[in-house]
Amino acid sequence: MTKTIPLLDAAEFAQQQFQQTVCNMRPAQPEISPPLPDRRQRALHDLRISVTDRCNFRCTYCMPKNAFGRDHVFLAHDEVLRFEEITRLARLFTRLGVRKIRLTGGEPLLRKNIERLIEMLAAIDGIDLTLTTNASILAKKAQNLRDAGLQRITVSLDAIDDATFRRMNDVNFPVARVLEGIDAAARAGLTPIKINTVVKRGVNENAILPLIRAFKGSGHIVRFIEFMDVGATNGWRMDDVVSAAEIVDIINAEFPLESIDPNYRGEVAERWRFKDGGGEIGVIASVTQAFCRDCTRMRLSTNGQLFTCLFADRGYDFRALLRDGADDDTLTRAIATLWQNRNDNYSEIRTANTPRVKKVEMSYIGG
Ligand code: SAM
Ligand code: SF4
Ligand code: SF4
């Protein structure tokens, strides 16, 4: 009887090819050292780690209830990378030039014992460690996070007006609790605090000026982000995007601004400061002014897949490599191989139709 050989889908095939390439590389290969350029000469520098795919909010632009309802199946305990696995990979990434690690999700503060992971990562030499959170439980966690070694924090906050905020998180969560979280983070020294606001037309453009009034002069940096077509569930349309230029115009009309230089090459936020000395703000023009040219980020999903772009349709399974017993050199070479072959520039080639392409959800690989 002839045995049927199952056909592989494109993703499985690519994973097999990748695994074979990695495993066939000879250990005698010369040492791989940073800077490690990809095919567009961008050197690997940042790693975003999603520590959970779960979240207690259902922000309409990220985890809309119609796609993440009560029956949604989240990753099982065993599927999620363990702290030791995350830390091991993070350490190898630093060999290849990563200097900045951001913990994200889902909601990272929901990951049990997150402080322990922070302690483990903070022990790695020479990395800048930060975390992005919805701040729903930040008030009680801020000091522990700081004590564990977290250096700074970014809080997502889409409006200061309670009704708008509750509508956007779609779980009726009060803004006051987020503001308590921001205050606690400031007291704990997780500064400068960045406050990320996604702006969606017809939903929260009216929140821009109230946010500026609330935080101007506080030392916190509000950064407005263009609504992006991440994933395939948030119903993105180009018409819903309020451009960074429009946002700057709205603010500048009431609080005159002047532009300032980036802190470093590849910084995603365009920086502006108030002419009256009231501090700075940022705008992240991910849709209208693509910054792929300087994109130096890799993303590790909750279940251990590596993604070379936020808009990638597939990742590479490092959990399988880790759990199959790959040694450090094999893992390092695997990361380097992926990075060196990276050619992503999705935001530069986005059109109103590209959102239909299959893409991974933001809550799975982190923002
Ligand atoms: N739950 C945490 C939070 O909200 O801060 C961390 C994960 S969340 C996916 C990371 C960031 O992605 C947040 O600042 C969020 O506003 C942003 N984000 C999510 N969906 C987005 C979209 N469609 N366009 C632009 N930014 C988005
Ligand atoms: Fe949750 Fe953050 Fe996504 Fe909102 S943006 S649903 S808080 S993961
Ligand atoms: Fe980087 Fe991809 Fe975003 Fe371009 S589209 S900036 S390559 S993550």
Residues with CB under 6 A from ligand 3: 291-292, 295, 309-311, 344-347
| CA distance linking residue 229 with residue 180, whole number of Å | 31
Q: Encoding tokens for residue 86?
A: 């995350």
- State the ligand closest to the CA atom of 107: 1
Q: What ranges make up the beta strands (E) of the chain?
A: 46-50, 100-104, 128-133, 152-156, 194-199, 221-226, 257-260, 270-274, 280-284, 297-300, 305-307, 316-317
What is the value of pTM for the model shown? 0.93
Q: Note the pLDDT of residue 11.
A: 63
Mean pLDDT of 228-235: 78
Per-residue pLDDT tens over the stretch 163-178? 999 999 999 999 999 9
Which residue puts its alpha carbon closest to atom 7 of ligand 1? 105
Which among 338, 337, 266, 347 has a CA at the least distance from the CA of 306? 338
Is the predicted pLDDT of residue 308 greater than 70, yes or no?
A: yes
Interior CA angle at 62 toward 56 and 63, to 5°?
50
| CA distance linking residue 79 with residue 151, whole number of Å | 29
The full DSSP string for 289-306 is: S--GGG--EEEE-TTSEE
Mean pLDDT of 19-33: 61
| Closest approach atom of ligand 2 to CA 132 | 2
Is the predicted pLDDT of residue 357 greater than 80, yes or no?
A: no
| Closest approach atom of ligand 2 to CA 134 | 7
Q: What ranges make up the beta strands (E) of 200-241?
A: 221-226
Q: Note the pLDDT of residue 12.
A: 67
Is the predicted pLDDT of residue 100 greater than 70, yes or no?
A: yes
Reported as a pLDDT band with limits 50, 70 and 90, residue 187 is very high
Q: Note the pLDDT of residue 1.
A: 42
Which among 344, 265, 319 has a CA at the least distance from the CA of 89? 319
Q: Encoding tokens for residue 245?
A: 């230029």
Does the CB atom of residue 155 touch ligand 2 within 6 A? no
| Residue ranges per structural domain of the chain | 10-365
Which among 120, 155, 151, 149 has a CA at the least distance from the CA of 135? 155
Distance from the alpha carbon of residue 62 to the mean position of ligand 1, in angstroms: 7
Q: Note the pLDDT of residue 319.
A: 97
Say if residues 234 and 60 touch (Cβ distance below 8 Å): yes
* CATH topology (fold) of 10-365: TIM Barrel (3.20.20)
Per-residue pLDDT tens over the stretch 104-130? 999 999 999 999 999 999 999 999 999
